[in-house]
Chains A and B, each alone.
Chain A
């Protein structure tokens, strides 16, 4: 019993570790972000909203405009509807907003942004987004990946825990539902 439990624990623990490493790799390599937000549904500028969360009218963020495969720091990459987002982008400032000039406007080769990526309202739970995840289309397969990974990790961790208690020799009996 203990030996079987040990084998079960080791096998499922190895699978759990492999899945966890893959999940962390997907995050750190940027694959996860790209999988989620991979194309635009409006014309405008792809940006990484995390880079200018402190922007304000008094202290606007100046994003350098130019084509790039990856957004690093304060950059704004011109995109057209349907384009694949550059790596690191998580929002699109639409052409309409830039033309209005209230929250963002073009000055020379710079995109001047005067609002943060997220405004946390003081009243209750209301959060008002400005640019994050706006103007982008989610890859529907990311949903399948998410659920499959979640259930796979759940299964591995669940069986690993079961193997662990078996390995320790804990006698977990079935409950007698109709007995005493």
Chain B
């Protein structure tokens, strides 16, 4: 047990280290901060809501630094895109926070925040799931036909539209092999930043699909590049939260220790899989978070009369952390088995890399 004096609560240290570890795996693999998982977990551990949110924002920044270092080694970061997006992300986060304060001032924050979360995450889930299934099917067909499969396969045509927007200046992203108007990158940064600031999260679960389906990077590059953005958006969010006294640094510290181990595994696991595997995990993470947020929305809209919904939402959120970790671990395990010529489920070969 450890007395977190700033948060004013006593919590077993191993719970925080374990939370950091599990969210580190998921975050390192799909390039998200995991705010929608950590905040409910901290509340369950007894942290007041405002303290859970602030502590989470700070932990996200630290974890993103650790993951970014490993993704840099794996060559998963396109620095041109990352640095072009930073300004837009900062502006967006600030606008999002001001929008949140405005909705709070008019007494709408709970419902608006949850409804916005549900709408955004559901939309992203449906699109990601449909597109990834089509990509998976295409890879399966290529595999059966004896054709070689690339590291990433996408069937979405949306990036081609955005890459054809003729507004100068253009940027040439060498690693991602694309040329695109800088304004597209900036606007993606602003929009995802607004959502991140408004929802009080790092914004990875919005930015990774945006990088894949709007900008047109590969899934691996989207993960690494997004983690650099999370260092900025998470760090900025952490600064604002800290200045309001909403961060218990010791809780952040213990979670970062756990995240160091988890983030290494999650980041390295990306080298075992193809792009659609990352997008599958991202979409499952989105739907699980959506269901959790939807249950809380129903709870708020019913005036808190359906009390079991809140409990189920917490169990669901914590369950998703474990489920996603096990899924990622199993993918790595299947990949190793596949590399050694051992039997794996039929859906696995197109998703993993045979070295």
| Chain A contacts to B: CB under 8 angstroms | 20, 23-24, 26-27, 32-33, 36-37, 49-50, 90, 117-118, 120, 122-127, 129, 132-133, 136, 138, 140, 142-147, 149-151, 153-155, 157-162, 165, 172-180
Contacts and interface: CB of A to CB of B under 8 A. Distances in A.
A174 to B, nearest CB: 3
B66 A161 contact: yes
A177 B175 contact: yes
A178 B150 contact: yes
A155 B249 contact: no
A4 to B, nearest CB: 14
B272 to A, nearest CB: 10
Given A124-B307, A127-B49, A151-B231, A180 B245 contact: no
> Which among A33, A37, A178 has the highest number of chain B CB atoms within 10 Å?
A178
Interface in B254-302: 256-257, 260, 263-264, 268, 270-271, 296, 299
Nearest to A170: B268
Interface string B1-26: 00101101000000000000000000
A175 B63 CA distance: 22
A154 B66 contact: yes
Interface in B54-87: 58-59, 61-70, 73-76
B310 A154 contact: no
A159 B65 CA distance: 10
B250 interface: yes
> Which among B48, B59, B149, B176 has the highest number of chain A CB atoms within 10 Å?
B48
Given A24-B250, A172-B268, 16 more contacts: A23-B249, A123-B304, A125-B310, A129-B48, A143-B241, A143-B247, A147-B58, A147-B235, A154-B66, A157-B66, A158-B65, A158-B66, A161-B69, A161-B260, A175-B75, A179-B150
B43 interface: yes
A144 B304 CA distance: 38
- Name A's interface SS: helix
A145 to B, nearest CB: 8
Contacts of A50: 3, 5, 8
A143 B240 contact: yes
A153 B63 CA distance: 10
B5 A23 contact: no
A25 to B, nearest CB: 11
B151 interface: yes
B70 A133 contact: no
Given A32-B5, A125-B310, A153-B256, A118 B48 contact: yes
> Which among B5, B151, B175, B238 has the highest number of chain A CB atoms within 10 Å?
B5
Interface string B219-256: 01100000000010001001111111101011011001
Nearest to B176: A177
Contacts, number: 170
A140 B243 contact: yes
Nearest to A88: B5
Contacts of A176: 151
12 contacts: A23-B250, A118-B8, A125-B43, A146-B239, A147-B61, A147-B239, A150-B61, A157-B257, A158-B68, A158-B263, A159-B69, A175-B75
Given A123-B310, A157-B260, A37 B245 contact: yes
B76 A175 contact: yes
B152 interface: yes
B276 to A, nearest CB: 14
Given A146-B238, A175-B74, A151 B62 contact: yes
Contacts of B268: 172
Contact of A177 (B5, B148, B152): B152
Contacts of A155: 65, 69
A138 B176 CA distance: 43
Contact of B256 (A24, A154, A179): A154
B342 interface: no
B132 interface: no
Nearest to A137: B245
Query: Which A-B residue pairs are the 4 nearest by beta carbons?
Result: A154-B65, A143-B242, A158-B69, A174-B75
